[in-house]
Structure 1
């Protein structure tokens, strides 16, 4: 039982709640998720099951697409409307004004993560410092906003958006940064993740409908990857974790290794030019 599951996480539960439920349904403890969604957020959560847990970092490092609602005029300690209001104003921002900054935020920049986040500093998660009332300096991280598009909700100072971002981007921080650029305060009112890499929320299963049948196996995940067939001698070496090189294949993409009887043996990835490391051995 090795593969991934696309889950539509509902609002009001943690990402680990999803894993806990999946473990009971699938009767396995070997499950990991590929990027936390806050309890107030919903949308696509990819679970990696069995040996596919080795793929977790691949999805964490992938681009993601979110949609949500930005609410202006209040600054919350959590950067979303579930927190405590720290500052407020009554500045009115027009739809034309917020549309005018879309291109300004289609960029790579240094972003400060929210203090209420799971990023670790000196062995502790940032939210642990926040809950203890300890002020710390949060290091900024380079993130990329590939696209940002706003639409009008017809509610004063509330705007829907959709954005395509790089790994490590906090949409809560993006909301605060956008509001700041407009000379006001802001926070997320709603957030939904709709895409991770090539996987869409449209293909996700609701948590209460999850079964083993929803697992996407590794050959299906890599159905467009190269397929390398090796002889028995090389298969023995592969099973022992040997690195492969240009004598077997030349590619910069992951590939599947099969024996001559068409049994899947391993998944390899390129770690440098013409050097390939086994990521999963079956």
Structure 2
């Protein structure tokens, strides 16, 4: 089985737990997820199986969409509802103020990762240090918030919103930062991932369904082919001699318009079989194509 399963991760399970579960169900070790979800969070967790594990590095770079709830007035050490309360402040802000501050957080910016995260510094995961009461300096990361849409302003000091963002964005840190700017403090009290790189929650399946479908022998119906994960990329069909050159690591000259230097495209052979992701290079007026990952 080669492809991607759009898993609906349940609360209480880590992303690693999901991978371990699928290893047992599918009886394979060649498997990996495409982006960690916190244990308390739910939602889309694309899991790559077989040859699809080669595309994990590309999948993690893709944008994400979340629905989150932020509770004002309470800050926690983990920036979510599972942590210890470190401060409580009165919530004396209006809906208009909340909307204004939310608007300030769209666009390209830098974000300091939370201590309770799996990022490693000097070989140690930050959350391991945090549990020992140790705080270390973290370098800000470049992120981009593509949109913030408030769905429900101010119900019991809570704000429900959708956010589209780049890789590496911590939504609980976003909630905490917004709360600090409002002067009330805040933490993330709920999170569901609605979309990850084009894999949408409406098409996801639960771990219970995966196990049931595997027993019935119909799970492959719910496995997305590798190339479908890159349906937003361009494509190119090569003949037999060029296919051989590409698979041997050589560059080939291709024809056509609209290619962009450095872009990734899907490469198919003359039988319409997906064989590789390739990189386009434009040099001296020539359009060259070289395989980056072969399948």
TM-score (norm 1): 0.91
Is this contact kept in 2: 1:3–1:217, CA < 8 A?
A: yes
Q: Structure 1 residue aligned with 2:277, among 261, 268, 274?
A: 268
- Whole-Å Cα distance in 2 between the matches of residues 180 and 241 of structure 1? 52
Deviation at 1:204? Answer: 0.7
TM-score (norm 2): 0.87
Aligned to 2:124: 124
Residues 131, 275 of structure 1: alpha-carbon distance in 2 compared, 3 angstrom cutoff: farther
For structure 2, the 5+ residue unaligned runs are 211-218
- Whole-Å Cα distance in 2 between the matches of residues 63 and 7 of structure 1? 17
**Other structure's SS at 1:54 match:** helix
Deviation at 1:223? Answer: 5.5
Aligned to 1:166: 166
- Whole-Å Cα distance in 1 between the matches of residues 60 and 34 of structure 2? 5
Q: Deviations over 1:55-85 (max 9, x none)?
A: 1122211111100110111111111010111
Is this contact kept in 1: 2:146–2:166, CA < 8 A?
A: yes
Deviation at 1:154? Answer: 5.7
Residues 175, 97 of structure 1: alpha-carbon distance in 2 compared, 3 angstrom cutoff: same
Q: Structure 2 residue aligned with 1:254, among 256, 265, 268?
A: 265
Aligned to 2:223: 215
Residues 122, 103 of structure 1: alpha-carbon distance in 2 compared, 3 angstrom cutoff: same
Matched residue pairs, number?
A: 279
Is this contact kept in 2: 1:77–1:85, CA < 8 A?
A: yes
RMSD across aligned positions (CA): 2.2
1:278 aligns with 2:286: no
Larger mean Cα displacement after TM superposition, 91-100 or 189-198? 91-100
Aligned to 2:4: 4
- Whole-Å Cα distance in 2 between the matches of residues 122 and 272 of structure 1? 37
Residues 163, 263 of structure 1: alpha-carbon distance in 2 compared, 3 angstrom cutoff: closer
- Whole-Å Cα distance in 1 between the matches of residues 160 and 230 of structure 2? 35
- Whole-Å Cα distance in 1 between the matches of residues 134 and 288 of structure 2? 46
For structure 1, the 5+ residue unaligned runs are none
Larger mean Cα displacement after TM superposition, 14-23 or 126-135? 126-135
Is this contact kept in 2: 1:239–1:265, CA < 8 A?
A: no
Q: Deviations over 1:31-50 (max 9, x none)?
A: 11111000010000011111
- Whole-Å Cα distance in 2 between the matches of residues 190 and 219 of structure 1? 33
Deviation at 1:247? Answer: 6.3
**Other structure's SS at 2:155 match:** coil
